[in-house]
């Protein structure tokens, strides 16, 4: 190679060469080398890109082949618990909340409502065994109010109230008790009207009797309570209680009912409260975070009114069963279709050559037992049969075959005899007719000759 740098170095002290031309040639060669170096760098980058792409493809193939294995490893790893959200109570205003009566809280006033600022909390409620997302009454006040009460959840309530009378058992030896539940649904108000009745009024001054007709009307509404497993109905009677609780109670709220009455219903028993117990019979604690409504669409186009516990489920029980049936039907190893298509009796009769023999029919139980005790029909290979019984079975088979052959011979002979008799009778009849015709012809000929 002719390196221009070597020429420059050798001619460094030589002043006879043309300086501008040599320098220009050297610069041109340097630019050529730079271009070649740039091309080589581009090729190196392309090679690196291809190598990285191939490595990614191999990694993705390995990942797709071992997805289940990775899922198992992930399931064994401890899951990180989500941190509770930051509490921000600035957005909430003071809210009137219902509570049980307490002298310290109400201070002798007849109003059963208290004003508190709702707290955004992620805590567990000891009484309902659920998480609360909102707290209407502070925890300290709830503990002070419930210090004199015995709290009963649905599991304890079903133990205390038993059929057939559906009354509280003697195990409940406390007067102050309350039942905990989560509001699922609030049903509309019902009006019950009674018949008109006449009431006589006496005027003392005029000494006359006036008749006046009046109409009695009773109002009530019912609330469906749950513990995220079972449901129970609570009916609230009275106009005053309806005004207090109908608009304030909402679905998903955790409430407590003070000493409710128990009565029989079509589905067992239900709870009820009325105005006789006063206005302080329900206490609102907070909103349940684990309660959620189903919301799946039904055939009518309406949404499902069921509920579910979002800690363990994604839909209500009904829709979960439907999803499970659909998933099982797609799996061949759990589906009955894997064993083969079901064949009806008519198809069996048509396709006996492909399916097998026609189903056997037995006249008596005796013949059925004989067949199933024979050697031809063995349910298992490990069955042991005595030799004497085996000989008896073989003899009975031979006897049966002999009888069948005799019967077949008799039937065949009877059939041939009947055929012969019918042929002879037909010949005799034909001969008689021929003789009669011949006699008639002879008579006609004789008459003509005369």
* Tens-place pLDDT, residues 160-183: 988 888 888 877 777 789 999 999
Residue with tokens 């077949």: 408
pLDDT given at position 379: 45
* Residue 111 included in any domain: yes
Are 131 and 264 part of one and the same domain?
yes
Instruction: Provide the pLDDT for residue 358.
Output: 46
Clarify whether residues 242 and 359 are in a common domain.
Answer: no
Q: Number of C-alpha atoms within 13 angstroms, CB side, residue 365?
A: 0
233-254 pLDDT tens trace: 999 998 889 988 998 899 999 9
* Inter-residue contact 98 to 112 (CB < 8 Å): yes
* CATH code, domain carrying 256: 2.40.50.140
- In percent, the amount of the chain with pLDDT more than 70 equals 63
Based on the domain organization, do 101 and 142 belong to the same domain? yes
**Mean pLDDT, all residues of the chain:** 75
What SS3 state is found at 307? strand
**By CB neighbour count within 10 A (0-12 exposed, 13-18 middle, 19+ buried), where does 208 fall?**
exposed
| pLDDT over 50 (residue 130) | yes
Model's pTM, two decimal places?
0.51
| Confidence (pLDDT) at 227 | 92
Asked whether residue 277 carries a pLDDT value surpassing 70, the answer given is: yes
How many domains are there within the chain? 3
Same domain assignment for residues 362 and 399? no
Q: Is 424 contained in some domain?
A: no
CB 312 within 8 A of CB 328: no
Q: How far is it, in rounded angstroms, from Cα 164 to Cα 68?
A: 53
Based on the fold, state whether residues 127 and 158 are members of the same structural domain: yes
User: What is the extent of the structural domain holding 399?
Assistant: 381-416
Note whether residue 327 is domain-resident: no
Same domain, 284 and 353: no
- Name the burial class of residue 409, with classes exposed (0-12), middle (13-18) and buried (19+) by CB atoms within 10 angstroms of its CB: exposed
What pLDDT sits at residue 433?
75
In a domain? residue 209: no
Query: Do residues 188 and 286 share a domain?
Result: yes
How many CB atoms within 10 Å of residue 113?
A: 15
Listing DSSP states for 72-121 in one string gives: HHHHHSPPPPPPPPPP--TT--EEEEE----HHHHTT-S--EEEEE-EEE
| pLDDT for position 231 | 92
In a 13 Å sphere around the CA of 235, the CA atoms on its Cβ side amount to: 17
**Interior angle at CA 48, CA 45 and CA 52, nearest 5:** 140
Residues 223 and 174 in one domain: yes
Please enumerate in sequence order all residues whose Cβ is within 8 A of that of 244, keeping only pairs 6 or more positions apart, or say none.
98, 112, 279
Q: What is the pLDDT of residues 12-68, one digit of tens each?
A: 444 444 567 788 888 888 888 888 999 889 889 888 888 888 877 766 655 555 565
Out of 265, 293, 321, pick the residue that ends a domain.
293
pLDDT at 377: 45
Q: Is residue 125 part of a domain?
A: yes
Q: How does pLDDT run across 292-325, given as a tens digit for each residue?
A: 999 888 888 888 889 999 988 888 888 888 888 7
**Helix ranges (DSSP H) in 266-386:** 317-330, 345-350, 352-355, 365-372
Q: Are residues 355 and 406 in the same domain?
A: no
Dihedral, 234, 235, 240, 246 alpha carbons, nearest 10: 60
- Are 115 and 232 within one domain? yes
Query: In residues, how long is the chain?
Result: 450
**Domain contains 440:** no
267 and 129 in a single domain? The answer is yes
Hey, which residues does 217 pair with through a beta bridge?
193
**Does residue 312 lie within any of the structural domains?**
no
In this structure, are 275 and 154 located in the same domain?
yes
CA angle centred on 166, ends 160 and 168, rounded to 5°? 40
């Amino acid at each position: 190679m002719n390196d221009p740098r070597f020429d420059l170095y050798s001619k460094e002290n030589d002043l006879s060469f043309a300086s501008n031309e040599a320098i220009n040639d050297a610069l041109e060669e340097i630019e050529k080398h730079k271009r070649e170096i740039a091309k080589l760098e581009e090729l190196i980058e392309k090679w690196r890109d291809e190598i990285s792409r191939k490595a990614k493809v191999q990694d993705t193939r390995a990942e797709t082949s071992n997805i289940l294995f990775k899922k198992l490893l992930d399931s064994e790893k401890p899951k990180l618990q989500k941190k509770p959200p930051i509490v921000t109570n600035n957005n909430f205003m003071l809210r009137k909340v219902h509570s049980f009566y307490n002298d310290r809280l109400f201070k002798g006033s007849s109003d059963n409502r208290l004003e508190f600022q709702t707290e955004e909390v992620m805590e567990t409620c000891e009484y309902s065994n659920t998480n609360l997302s909102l707290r209407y009454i502070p925890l300290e006040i709830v503990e002070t109010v419930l210090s004199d009460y015995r709290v009963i959840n649905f599991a304890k309530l079903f133990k205390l109230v038993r059929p057939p009378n559906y009354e509280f058992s003697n195990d409940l030896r406390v007067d102050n008790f309350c039942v905990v539940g989560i509001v699922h649904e609030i049903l509309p108000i019902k009006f019950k009207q009674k018949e008109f009745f006449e009431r006589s009024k006496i005027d003392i001054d005029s000494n006359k009797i006036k008749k006046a007709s009046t109409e009695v009307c009773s109002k009530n509404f019912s609330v469906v309570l749950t513990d995220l497993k079972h449901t129970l109905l609570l009916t609230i009677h009275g106009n005053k209680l309806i005004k207090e609780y109908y608009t304030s109670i909402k679905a998903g709220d955790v409430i407590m009912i003070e000493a409710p009455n128990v009565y029989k219903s079509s589905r067992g028993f239900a709870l009820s409260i009325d105005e006789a117990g006063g206005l302080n019979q329900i206490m609102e604690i907070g909103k349940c975070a684990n309660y959620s409504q189903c919301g799946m669409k039904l055939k009518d186009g309406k949404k499902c009114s069921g509920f579910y516990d979002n800690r363990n489920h994604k839909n209500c029980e009904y829709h979960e069963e439907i999803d499970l049936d659909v998933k099982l039907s797609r799996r061949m190893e759990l589906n009955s279709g894997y064993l083969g298509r079901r064949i009806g009796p008519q198809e069996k009769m048509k396709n006996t050559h492909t399916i097998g023999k026609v189903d056997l029919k037995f006249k008596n139980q005796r013949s059925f037992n004989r067949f199933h005790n024979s050697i031809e029909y063995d349910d298992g290979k490990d069955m042991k049969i005595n030799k004497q019984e085996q000989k008896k079975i073989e003899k009975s088979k031979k006897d049966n075959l002999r009888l069948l052959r005799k019967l077949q011979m008799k039937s065949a002979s009877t059939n041939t005899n009947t055929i012969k008799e019918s042929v002879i009778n037909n010949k005799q009849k034909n001969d008689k007719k021929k003789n009669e015709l011949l006699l008639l012809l002879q008579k006609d000929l004789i008459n003509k000759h005369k």
